[in-house]
Amino acid sequence: MSSSIETLINKEYQAGFETDIEADTIAAGLTEETVRIISAKKHEPEWLLDWRLKAFRRWQTMTEPHWPNVTYGPIDYQAISYYSAPKTKKPLGSLDEVDPKLLETYAKLGIPLTEQKFLAGVAVDAVFDSVSVGTTYKEELAKLGIIFCSFGEAVREHPELVRKYLGSVVPYSDNFFASLNSAVFSDGSFVYVPKGVRCPMELSTYFRINASGTGQFERTLIVADEGAYVSYLEGCTAPKRDENQLHAAVVELVALENATVKYSTVQNWYAGDAEGNGGVYNFVTKRGKCAGRKSKISWTQVETGSAITWKYPSVILQGDDSVGEFYSVAVVNGKQQADTGTKMIHIGKNTKSNIVSKGISAGQGNNSYRGQVKVLPKADGARNYTQCDSMLVGNRCGAHTFPYIEVGNNTATVEHEASTSKIGEDQIFYLKQRGLSAEQAVSMIVSGFCREVFKELPMEFALEAQQLLGITLEGSVG
């Protein structure tokens, strides 16, 4: 473990390569026509085109939000191409027909799409630029009635489910970036786990931005029917580029009565260089709805990449006795900025939420936790516990906390604990005196700090997250 971190520490952003592949990319610019082209390319039904157009018209009336604690230059939405797909000659019947160059790309990233992955017990859907290139283990899952496919395929094969749940948690009018996504989303993943089924393997999507001058606007929808259980992991990488790339995704989770959805993210989009050139703008809307009684939604995120991260995975606790959880590690180094946290909206009775946020700031990074806990008047006996810890590495970085608490019911219990610490010279010296390098020492101290969150991740991803942390903090100690 320590030796692999050490090797990784000395490497630069490893996912920063570009795949030379012929792509079908539409011209930059965003008009109603662009929305129609995207919809037509995907052979979508009329209702979906209408939904996109409503979103687009709404988006035109909105202005980009500037309340997050981040700074960046203006984004020219007309300079972005909203659709890019690797060229294929015919529709793909199976993974064997996927362009070998694509498979090679995922292999380089350590995401083999081949059946070997079966041994690891992980089913993978991979999204390359705008389209999904292959979903493994679909058949095995289908035997249990589990649907795990690209969003595009779900629209074709299961339109009734998509139509019922699309926008049910994040409406097309929700916010500037969600509306933009609703208008132009290209692909993403769809999961449906039927009543009483426990999904036997981790489901995973790997997102990759490849083409330059494009944005990625994927959309993920996960529905766990009554009594179902699913654990889902998303990973992200992009090539190194001098320009900033926009990633505006939407993720919607729905948990019906007694259902559990666990959603984990290891986000490693390209963060830009040391001077702050390039990197991904990660402006994402993620929200889950505990629609049924005793349902549970749990978000775990490890955010190490992106020039700017702007996301608040949230839970609407509508069903009585439902539970929402948010476990987060956000690391900034170099000139990265993150404004991230969660919203827990307590509507049902005896609803519970738990928030554990660990922010690590190094270099000249700026890290903000922003969280809202809202207890509505009918949420008798609602409980929230929030723990929000910041760690500073060096003295040129920043850590900020913006908690918002609104309680409308006097039987509710809301607790908030916060701490800020600094990695001490004494801690580093102690570990160095035992033979560890300064980098290993920081990596170990930070991993310890994040332990409560890492233990929520599936085992192999916890390891990956720990390694990423080491890479992100590379060079943060003098």
Binding site for another protein (CB under 8 A): 1-3, 424-427, 429-438, 440, 444-445, 447-452
The CB-of-420 to another protein minimum distance in angstroms stands at 14
Nearer to another protein, 291 or 362 (CB): 362
Enter the DSSP assignment of 19. Answer: -
Rama region for 282: left / alpha / beta (φ>0; ψ in -120 to 50; rest): beta
The CB-of-439 to another protein minimum distance in angstroms stands at 10
Nearer to another protein, 78 or 419 (CB): 419
Nearer to another protein, 137 or 454 (CB): 454
In 3D space, the residue among 21, 37, 171, 217 whose CA is nearest the CA of residue 103 turns out to be: 21
Per the CB < 8 A criterion, the answer to whether 189 and 202 are in contact is no
Rama region for 103: left / alpha / beta (φ>0; ψ in -120 to 50; rest): alpha
Handedness of CA 206, 90, 17, 71 (dihedral sign): negative
Letter for the amino acid at 135? T
- CA–CA distance, 210 with 269 (Å, rounded to integer): 11
Quote the distance between the C-alpha of residue 460 and its chain's center: 17
Nearer to another protein, 108 or 451 (CB): 451
The CB-of-428 to another protein minimum distance in angstroms stands at 9
Nearer to another protein, 221 or 329 (CB): 329
The CB-of-436 to another protein minimum distance in angstroms stands at 6
The CB-of-3 to another protein minimum distance in angstroms stands at 7
Per the CB < 8 A criterion, the answer to whether 146 and 194 are in contact is yes
The CB-of-1 to another protein minimum distance in angstroms stands at 8
Nearer to another protein, 157 or 460 (CB): 460
Per the CB < 8 A criterion, the answer to whether 209 and 240 are in contact is no
The CB-of-425 to another protein minimum distance in angstroms stands at 6
The CB-of-419 to another protein minimum distance in angstroms stands at 10
Nearer to another protein, 186 or 472 (CB): 472
The CB-of-86 to another protein minimum distance in angstroms stands at 41
Distant-in-sequence, close-in-space partners of 271: CB < 8 Å, separation ≥ 6: 13, 279, 280, 304, 305, 306, 307, 333, 334, 336, 472
Nearer to another protein, 404 or 430 (CB): 430
Helix axes 32-41, 176-184, angle to 10 degrees: 50
DSSP 95-138: GGGS-HHHHHHHHHTT---STTHHHHTEEEEEEETTEEEEETTH
Nearer to another protein, 199 or 450 (CB): 450
Neighbouring C-beta atoms of residue 243, cutoff 10 Å: 11
The CB-of-329 to another protein minimum distance in angstroms stands at 12
Enter the DSSP assignment of 278. Answer: S
Nearer to another protein, 212 or 354 (CB): 354
